[in-house]
Structure 1
Amino acid sequence: MIHAKTVIAMVLCGLMYQHQAMASSDSSTYPSQVSGHYQHNDIHRLFSDLKESDKIFVSRNSLFKPYVVTDDNEIKELFSIRAKGVNPPSQKGSLEFGPSKMTWVNASSILSFLFRKYVDDNQTFNVPFVASTDRDRPSRAYDLHYNASNLCSGMGGVESNLKNVCVLNNRDNFGLVEINYNPDIGLFSSTYRIRLLPENGIQESLSHKLFLTFASLIGVYSNHNQSGFRSPLSTFDYHLTSNNAFITENNKFSDLQKKCDYDSFSSCHFKFVGENTENLLADGKKIKSQNDFSSKKRFSVHFTKSGVPKFNLNNTLLSGSTYINYGFYNQAELEMFRDIGYNINTSEFFGTSIYNSGTPENRGVYNITSSFTATKGELRPFKQEKASIVPLSIGTHIYGSYNDVTQTGIIASQGFGGIGIRVDGSRNRLVVPKSTSIIENGESATGIAVTYGRNNILDIRGDVEASGVDGTALRFDFGSNVLSDLKEFRGSYRRVRTYDYLQRKISKDQAESYNVPNNIRGPLVSTLNISGKITGKRYSIYIDDSAHVGDINITNKAKIYGDIVSKWNYFVAPDGKSLYSKAYSSKLLAGKLHFDAAYGENLNIPFFIKKLATNINLGIKKKNKGRDFTSDNMISDNKSHVEIKGNIIGKTINLLSYGGMSDIIGLININRLYIKDSSVFIAPSKAETTSVVEILDLNRGGQLDLTNGGSQTFIVKEKASISSNAVICLDADKDGTIIDDIKFEGSLFAPDGVVNIEPGISYNDVKRYSSDPKALLEFMNNFVRQANQKLDKYNAYTRFPKHLWYTQGGMGRTVNCSSRGCYIGDFINTYSNATKPLPMWRYILSIAGCILMLAFSVVLVRKTGSGRYG
């Protein structure tokens, strides 16, 4: 058996090779590790040889070749033939496809890869596109369907030709796609690549419309009218059940369920039945036939007024949700494509998906041992020595709620926009053990993303890495609504409908406070525990303005590389009775924050303001290891040593240090810095040298260490409270001139007016002063004089320093001074340890030692006095 460390090494070696080719129809094609060039089979060259990191995953042979139709007569003719019974749009929009249109190129390339077994070197489907702006018309695809009683009965021309059954003449000329959008809102066509978490903002997403209409084009449609199903049924219809019975031709809605009618499909209880979709809900059991599966767990389906089928899933691309934050199909939707007859490899895009939910009393338990890396062929196992390069992939998807998930298997990808683990449910607990690595090194990739829900808990003990361009290790972000954030915006505690207000359909109060569902009335992540290593090229931790994260507990030996940034913020309403959060755009209304009904309407504003902060807790450990981190199960850890290489920025971030040493190689710009019985070392880069906090609390034994050997500025904007048993360490040159600058722009509270300030100098200077007591005394006097000049305007002063601090490392030396000079003494690691009183056992041991020495001396004197030794 291969050792776990060997497997990890193999995966990391695979990540070194940044240019790999995609799998062909029968086997994976990997780059030559000698030349770094792509290798292709001789059937077709599916993907280009672009090597630059800013190029996209491009298809040479696209499955579809769209062309935009704008002529009224041609549009009328197309609808009369390919969309019988549907009138053409009366208002035309604007649409353009081409090599420079990244949204189209991306969508086309990804679909061509997913359906690569159906790509032909010499032919593609020439599909006409019509852009419309008619109100209430949907974006959808139409096609000319077979009515004959044969294998193709109910199929459209595109579907039958893709499946290569009942092929008609002119096989490349079928289908019709209507892209409808609201001209007041606009259509978002990105100049960048498609993202799994949408970024279309206030506009409607074109990529969503392309993926949505593609599904209709290949067979995700139903053949029914207002009274019931017609003959022939579509391929999709054959997979539908109602009341546990399959739909048959000419079924009337009224025959299926008493309340089932065209305007109330929710009463029809339609469910989609297919082996692949059912396996997703089978809890690891292999479904061999449809009878093996519980009918209660099947995916539910409803239809829109225009007859388009929708999965009853929250927020997914083919769902009927008013809020959708998926940039690509989820696994259930891809498995549905397989169930209706397409030979596609969904395992290249998804490793493991958890759609089931537990309950508070009986939580779901999952230990994911399988790895998500490169695949070789459809039925062959994952190759752990190679990272996946498929774009928009998700290693593990936690869609359900109340689940305990341990990710034991390695996830390694360098595909664009991939996500290692995505969480969309509520009250889940995710554990990444010490032995596990989540490596997402593709451009714009994310290690772990929590994108919907509330009160999730993450425990990161292993490694999470996103070292590619624009990479983020941990991302907490609802993303955009592909239907437009104007139509509906969601975030922690809020749901906003700006467009309905602008159209005067609802009042402003209603729009800012629109029926907030319970599953977002809480922090997106309540607790994030980090004891492993987090690495992000752009961000190590990113908290979007849509998302609230409660506590981030960073414990001993944790290493965080990359900026920690939070855009989350809130404000108190003018009436002082409610809380709101501003949206990222001035065109969007602010959202009123809603909490659990148990809190009532009259909120305790000071209480909730504290709850809405993000607390980064340093130097802590669990009092009881079997329980979660809570206020009553958290104690200081004096042995803790935490390393953060990156800036910490956020108006609602509180950085709280309770024990040990924390090194921040970067600047901070936060709400509150609290230090007690511990040391926080801050060393910003040369480019940015100013740190800002609104509130500074230096409690007993607290050490704010700014001695990095260079000049920096530390500003306290609002108020500072500094204990006389705490210290601020500032850089000084060899003459005692203070290099750093600390400013108190608000109030300063210091008992007895004492603010201890001590100097930091280089190793060479410490060495020089250790042999020259008079020079050291002069240095210390000069330092104290300058420190008191700085503190004088705040009616405060510093006492004569008792320590010198090294700028090269987190340690210092004691200093004892007299009129003759100053002498350097013992090493110390933190001010807290140096100033703590000796514990009682040390006194007892010393006294006992003295008594023993005295007794030994008496015995020795008596022995020598008797002349025995003399």
Structure 2
Amino acid sequence: MRKALFSVLAVALSALLLTTAQAAAPDDSAAPSADDALPMDAAAVSSLLIDRAAESATQAAQKMGFNLEPYLKGRSSLDFYELGPLNFWMQLNPANADEILRRYGLSATLLPSEKLNTLLTDGKARPLRYLSALLLVDSRHRAQVQLPLLMARAADGAQKVSAQPLLTLDTDGRSAFLNELRLKSNIIAANRAAGLEPVKKSAENSVEEQALRGPDAPESEHGALLISIPESAARAGASLLQQALPNDGMRFNLPALALRGMLQELVMYSHVDQEGFRQPASPFDRHLYARFADHFVAGDKFAALGQGCSLEAQYNCGLYFVGPEVSKVLKDAGRNSVFYIKDDLYGIPVLIEPGGLIKLKLRSTLLSNSGFVNYGNLTEVELALLQDLGLNLPRQSFYGRSIYADGGAAKKNEVQVNLNFSHFDPERKSYTKKPSLFPMAVGVHLYGSDNNVIYNGSASIGSDGALGVRIDGSKNLFTLPYKTTVSVSGAGSAALALSSGRDNLLNIAGTLRATGPDSSALVVARGSNVFSNYSERQGSYLLEGAGPVSLSSLPAELSGPAASRINISGSLEGRRSALFVARSSYVGDINLLSQARIKGDIAVLFEPTPSQRELMHEAGLNTEELELRLNLAASLQEALNFEEISREGDPKAQIKIEGQIYGPNLGLWQWGGTSDIEGSINARTLYLRRSVMRLNMMPGQKTEVKYLRLNRGSALDLLNGQVDTLQVTERAFVSAKSSLRVDVDADGALLDNLVFDRELAADTGRLILEPGVSYDTLKRLQANPKTFLTFLQNFVSSANEMLKDHSTYVSFPRHIWDIAGSYGREINCSARGCRIGSFVRDSGSEQDTEPWQYALSAGGFVVLLGGTWLYLNAGRLRRALRRLRDFLAR
């Protein structure tokens, strides 16, 4: 049968990804919904690898009478074309069309948008939202076609749609494993997406091709662009999630890799050989600037571009991509950045691989040469590059502001961002009051390092996989002022993500809100590698999969905590979590300051691997007692000035947390004031000093810590009128004036369970335990002193029975508390019974007396005595002064 022709342009990705809906998912969380499934009878088949055997694609096109040239003249907008004979549709920019078609020896015919609209709406394949938004942009087509740029359907000569169950995962040529995967998935994707060479079609691999096609495939060869995935990565399967910050673990991200592979085949190539650049120049070559030769390359030999310049030694060439749109994005990057060339000229450093494949020398981005990529989307500078290559895409809809500048260690680069990011109106060229619905949009992207950024604006994003703010650089100070709000409402989104870099500082006084499914307000996580974490994994003091590493060989951006300090005095609200710290991300201090409001869970999963712990120990950290510290009510001045957190907290602080707090290596330290926590705590350490923590657990919850310490008149309040459990697995200490407040029944018996697995200690051996009851019970006890006495006797008896295995005891309490309010009453007992006394305030009351306070008091006492003596002897002193004056006058 006649050889097939295949689609060539951006929209090929749509077809590539649409068939991934049937890919097997390794767990329930990754399984696509029924709505995302693609019927087998509408399987899309597309390819960028042209089958050049036997009969060329050009000859097949000529036999069908297709000729594209009459349609290329005078056209400047994106248009749709048809490639036969299998009805593949594509959209391309005529500025690049002749080059692309010539490269693959194709001819095509212009497809009227009305016909295209009919064909697309009749098809059963579903659109890929990110690519649709990325490339379907010119107003004429957007008004008529709401589906992606390309929806390819495979059909035989009778125009009958037929299934093409092609397996396209190549795992180093292992047929048995390919056949195993074939039973699990039906994926059509792109080659080179993992940075490997494509499978070459030849007589030698015809058996392998037959295994890919399957026994029931027709003999006509449908070329497929294969993703070459290492077997270790393919073992975990593919993820179909589309998120700006991937979170796929050991799975590889198929949409991201297919997008990467498609763009590499589409525009990221050079006409280069061992000698230099060949003519005609590729679209990318036309933008290549040789820094050392000080000109754009134009068929130059490597020898003319710099001393020692060659394909193997490109660092001697200084190659950059330069274009007007890229220059707009990088114009404020500064001379310290890797993008600076000379004077006002900026560009993207590039690397050309043998065979002409181009990768950008960026940090972990989708089109970069990094082995670790944690972007599911394109950065703004990559979008600008595509614009310079002729693609008409709405960059402002995907990014509000990107900061690529690098400051210096002595002086940070000062940046004020005054932007309200939302839906972008291309006609008015401004942002509207509606939320942005472009998938994986990013309000503010901080890529550079050593910047002081203040975000005076807002972000409103309603799409999936979006990030309100993304921070990827190192040693940045990012401030979100009061009244500034960043809100995301799509699934799998984050209001602020600290996703790369080290030693960043955050001041959050405004509001971070993430209300969509599986979304978090503040995320500290590097995410996952789109090639799979089997390939390479990164984190704080962590680099796995790239061979043995030491602290000296570790990349600078990994040689420290993701954030040195995070200060939160504003509001965090997250549906999945308000604050999320990933397992591999270390943070120096997280400070919840006065008036902080948290709605959602605090999940700190940091748990170092053995290799990570070894590098942290080498860096001087105490890995034996390593914990990530969450400070409540720290001193505002110390926190905001990034001073070391001392024991002097904020006694007036009020902090509210509506959610659970979880962290196996988390230390929860409260230094003053009052905190209200609507949920349980599961942490390594709970330490209170001069403070009150009200812990209102939900039914069935348990608070479990390894170490508990109550100091300086602190109180841990478990009062809520229901049965709660507090478990300390190692050691608990309660100082003389600190207390535990527990629920009791109407007769005084304990309701709450206090479990101390190992050691419980208290000053002088006496544990202060104070009961809490309802207002009605409090009135009843107040009315009858003898009943109250019996109540207290029952309370003491049941408490000592619970603590009988420890060398501590409970005596009559000093206070009784109302579980519905935040006040207590003194208890006064005599031989005739017990009475309820005056009100007491709900706060840590004991204060340290500092030496200067003793000195001031002593000085004040001396001054008071002196003043009193002077007052009593004023008359005698006046007479003595007169006698002295008369004596001197003689």
Does TM, scored on the shorter chain, surpass 0.5? yes
**Take 2:822 and 2:34, find their aligned partners in 1: how far apart are those partners?**
45
Shift of 1:189: 6.8
Instruction: Describe the shift of the 1:113–1:707 C-alpha distance in structure 2 as closer, same or farther (beyond 3 A).
Output: farther
Contact 1:554–1:619 (CA under 8 A) maintained in structure 2:
yes
- Structure 1: gaps of 5 or more residues: 1-53, 87-97, 144-173, 501-505, 571-580, 583-589, 856-870
Provide the residue aligned with 1:398 in structure 2: 446
Distance (Å, rounded) in 2 between the aligned partners of 1:276 and 1:65: 37
- Work out the CA distance in 2 between the residues paired with 1:531 and 1:469: 25
Report matched runs for 1:844-855 at 5 Å: none
Other-structure match for 1:594? 615
Q: Which amino acid aligns with 1:133?
A: D
Q: Does 1:628 align with 2:642?
A: yes
> How much does 1:142 deviate?
12
Aligned residues: 711
User: Residues 70 and 331 (structure 1 numbering): CA distance in 2 closer, same or farther, change over 3 Å?
Assistant: closer
Match of 1:618 in 2: 632
Q: Distance in 2 between matches of 1:341 and 1:58?
A: 32
Would you say 1:519 and 2:557 are equivalent positions? yes
Question: What amino acid maps onto 2:473 in structure 1?
Answer: G
- Could you give the per-residue CA deviations for residues 469-503 of structure 1, whole angstroms, max 9, x where no partner exists? 11200111111111221121111101011xx7xxx
SS in 1 for 2:408: coil
Task: Tell me the SS of whatever aligns to 1:787.
Answer: helix
Equivalent residue number for residue 716 of structure 1: 728
Measure how far apart 1:635 and its partner are.
Answer: 2.3
Do the aligned partners of residues 365 and 513 (structure 1) sit closer, same or farther apart at CA in structure 2, a change above 3 Å counting? Answer: closer
Residue 269 of structure 1 aligns with which residue? 318
Give the conservation status (yes or no) of the 8 Å contact 2:481–2:509.
yes
Shift in CA distance, 117/202, structure 1 to aligned 2, threshold 3 Å = farther
Q: Output aligned runs, 1:257-336, within 5 Å.
A: 257-283=306-332, 294=343, 297-336=346-385
- Give me the TM-score of the superposition, normalised by structure 1: 0.74
Q: Distance in 2 between matches of 1:671 and 1:746?
A: 15
Residue 183 of structure 1 deviates from its aligned partner by: 3.6
Write out aligned runs for 1:816-831 (5 A). Answer: 816-830=828-842
The correspondence of residues 723-734 of structure 1 with structure 2, limited to 5 A, is 723-734=735-746
Q: How high is the sequence identity, in percent, across the aligned residues?
A: 28
Q: Does 1:375 align with 2:396?
A: no
| Residue range with higher mean Cα deviation, 392-401 or 189-198 | 189-198
Go from structure 1 to structure 2 and tell me whether the alpha carbon gap of 1:805 and 1:695 turns closer, same or farther (over 3 Å shift): same
Matching residue within 45, 68, 73 for 1:67: 45
Equivalent residue, structure 2, for 1:537: 575
How far the C-alpha of 1:810 sits from its partner, in A, is: 2.6
- Structure 1 residues 708-754: Cα deviation after superposition (integer angstroms, max 9, x where no partner): 11110000001112212211110011110110011110112223211
Match for 1:649 among 637, 662, 682? 662
Query: 1:455-534 alignment to 2 at 5 Å?
Result: 455-497=503-545, 510=548, 515-534=553-572
Closer, same or farther: CA 519–187 of 1 in aligned 2, 3 Å: same
Judge conservation of contact 1:282–1:293 (CA < 8 Å) in 2.
Answer: no
Match of 2:392 in 1: 343
For 1:541, what is the secondary structure of its paired residue?
A: strand
Aligned 8 A contact 1:365 1:403 in 2: yes
Alignment counterpart, residue 472 of structure 2, candidates 406, 416, 424: 424
The residue type paired with residue 555 of structure 1 is L
Q: Secondary structure, in 3 states, of the residue corresponding to 1:669? A: strand
1:352 counterpart SS class: strand
CA shift for structure 1 position 624: 5.8
Contact 2:43 2:125 (C-alpha < 8 Å) held by counterparts:
no
Q: Structure 1 residues 72 and 214 mapped into 2: Cα distance closer, same or farther (>3 Å)? A: closer
| 401 and 70 in structure 1: CA distance in 2 versus 1, 3 angstrom threshold | closer
Tell me the alpha carbon deviations over residues 573-603 of structure 1, each in whole angstroms, 9 at most, x when there is no partner. xxxxxxxx16xxxxxxx545425xxx8x5x7
Whichever residue aligns with residue 67 of structure 1, its letter is V
Q: Which amino acid aligns with 1:310?
A: K
Structure 1 equivalent of residue 750 of structure 2: 738
Does the residue aligned with 1:631 lie in a helix, a strand or coil? coil
User: Which protein has the larger Cα radius of gyration, Structure 1 or Structure 2?
Assistant: 2
Partner Cα distance (1:340, 1:84) in 2: 16
Q: Which residue of 1 aligns with 2:406?
A: 357
Q: Is the 8 A contact 1:454 1:524 kept in 2?
A: yes
Deviations 1:378-402 (A, max 9, x none): 552111x322122101100000111
Hey, what does 1:585 align to over in structure 2?
none
* Cα separation, partners in 2 of 1:624 and 1:323, compared to 1, 3 Å: closer
1:447 Cα offset (Å): 0.8
The DSSP-based 3-state class of the residue aligned with 1:391 is coil
User: Residue by residue, what CA displacement relative to the aligned partner does 1:327-363 show, whole Å, maximum 9, x if unpaired?
Assistant: 1101110011111222211111100100111111120
Identify if the C-alpha distance between structure 1 residues 823 and 335 changes in structure 2 by more than 3 Å, giving closer, same or farther: same
Q: Give the whole-Å Cα distance in 2 for the aligned partners of 1:639 and 1:232.
A: 72
CA distance in 1 between partners of 2:427 and 2:310 (Å): 42
1:694 partnered with 2:706: yes
- State the 1:569 CA deviation: 1.1
State the match for 1:256 in structure 2.
Answer: 305
Match of 2:813 among 781, 801, 806: 801
Q: Is the 8 A contact 1:678 1:830 kept in 2?
A: no
Secondary structure of 1:833 counterpart? coil
Change (3 A) 1:76 1:142: farther
Please state if 1:434 is matched with 2:487: no
Q: For residues 620 and 376 of structure 1, do their structure 2 counterparts lie closer, same or farther at Cα, with a shift above 3 Å needed?
A: same
**Structure 2 residues not aligned, in runs of 5+:** 1-31, 60-99, 105-121, 155-165, 174-190, 199-221, 872-890
1:131 corresponds to 2:168? yes
CA deviation profile, 1:532-552 (whole Å, cap 9, x unmatched):
111011101111112112211
- Cα distance change on mapping 1:617 and 1:784 into 2, 3 Å: same
Q: Secondary structure at the match of 2:567?
A: strand
Correspondence for 1:212 among 255, 260, 265: 260
Q: How far did 1:110 drift?
A: 4.2
Match of 2:682 among 669, 672, 681: 669
**Is 1:513–1:592's contact at 8 Å kept on the other side of the alignment?**
no
Contact 2:704 2:729 (C-alpha < 8 Å) held by counterparts: yes
Is the Cα contact below 8 Å between 2:303 and 2:309 reproduced in 1?
Answer: yes
Over 3 Å counting, the alpha-carbon distance change for 1:322 and 1:827 in structure 2 is: same
User: Structure 2 vs 1, CA of residues 604 and 423 (structure 1 numbering), >3 Å: closer, same or farther?
Assistant: closer
Query: SS at the partner of 1:823?
Result: strand
Task: Work out whether residues 613 and 654 of structure 1, in 8 Å CA contact, stay in contact via their aligned partners in 2.
Answer: yes
When residues 445 and 205 of structure 1 are mapped into structure 2, their CA distance, relative to the original with a 3 A threshold, is: closer
Q: Residues 772-800 of structure 1: CA distance to partner in whole angstroms, max 9, x if unpaired? A: 22222221121111111122211210131
Alpha-carbon distance change, 782 to 369 in structure 1, aligned in 2, over 3 angstroms? same
Does 2:767 match 1:755?
yes
Q: CA deviation at 1:105?
A: 3.5
Choose 114-123 or 450-459, whichever is displaced more: 114-123
The residue identity in structure 2 corresponding to 1:208 is A
Going from structure 1 to structure 2, the CA distance change for 1:738 and 1:312 (only over 3 Å counts) comes to same
- The answer (yes or no) to whether the contact 1:189–1:207 under 8 Å persists in 2 is no
TM-score by length of 2: 0.73
Other structure's SS at 2:128 match: helix
CA contact (8 A) 2:322 2:346 kept: no
